[in-house]
Amino acid sequence: MSLWAMVVKMSEGLGKTCAIFFLTLLFSLPLGMIVALLRMSKNKAVSGVTRFCISVLRGTPLMLQLLAVTYGPYYLFGMNVSRNKLIPVIIAFSINYAAYFAEIYRGGIESIPAGQYEAAEVLGYSRFQTFMRIILPQVVKRIMPSVTNEVVTLVKDTSLAFTVSYQEMFTIGKQIANSQTSFMPFLVAGVFYDVFNAIVDWAMGRIEKKLDYYR
């Protein structure tokens, strides 16, 4: 198989790779905020359970979580949820990254001085208004480098979908490599991921520059 034929074949899975990437961000970013607020709850039971869940999700491999979400329901309850493998893949990726984003959000929120909350209360802001109008914009600015790092990692982690045989770019490349007994498909995949990450890094950098007025 020629190099061009490999690129064309692997590009067929690029759309699925992008789907994993964008859908994971779509669900994990807001879910991470919810988890962060639960983690910071004054109710010790709620914060304790949330902290335990975050610990499990961050302490176990994403590959294991993919296998658990995809095949676990069948082994435990006889439910086949793996017919459309994109669904369990997105569920596993979203809850895993939500745990990481939750800790990033928590660090950003707790870095805001308590005096800002007190000043907002004096000005008549409700707790919701204080968070949305005063706290959140500053938090977003402060956590952007950490979020960018996780987003870059996500680009590379999409390749883990091969463990459940989801036909994204890396899975197709691995199949070609096995059939052709060639390392070239992995090099092609490496170029794809490097270009993808360069685009992501550029886009996140642009967003970070637009938030410079919060300095």
In terms of CATH architecture, what is 3-214? Orthogonal Bundle (1.10)
Q: What is the pLDDT of residue 48?
A: 94
pLDDT at 121 over 90: no
Q: What is the pLDDT of residue 195?
A: 93
Q: What is the pLDDT of residue 140?
A: 85
Is pLDDT larger for residue 204 or for residue 73?
Answer: 204
Q: List the domain boundaries for the chain.
A: 3-214
Is pLDDT larger for residue 210 or for residue 152?
Answer: 152
- Three-state DSSP state, 60: coil
Is pLDDT larger for residue 192 or for residue 116?
Answer: 192
pLDDT at 213 over 70: no
Residue 2 burial class via C-beta count within 10 angstroms: exposed 0-12, middle 13-18, buried 19 and up: exposed
How many Cβ atoms are within 10 Å of 33's Cβ, its own excluded? 18
Q: What is the mean pLDDT of the chain?
A: 88
> Which tens digits make up the pLDDT trace of 9-26?
888 888 899 999 999 999
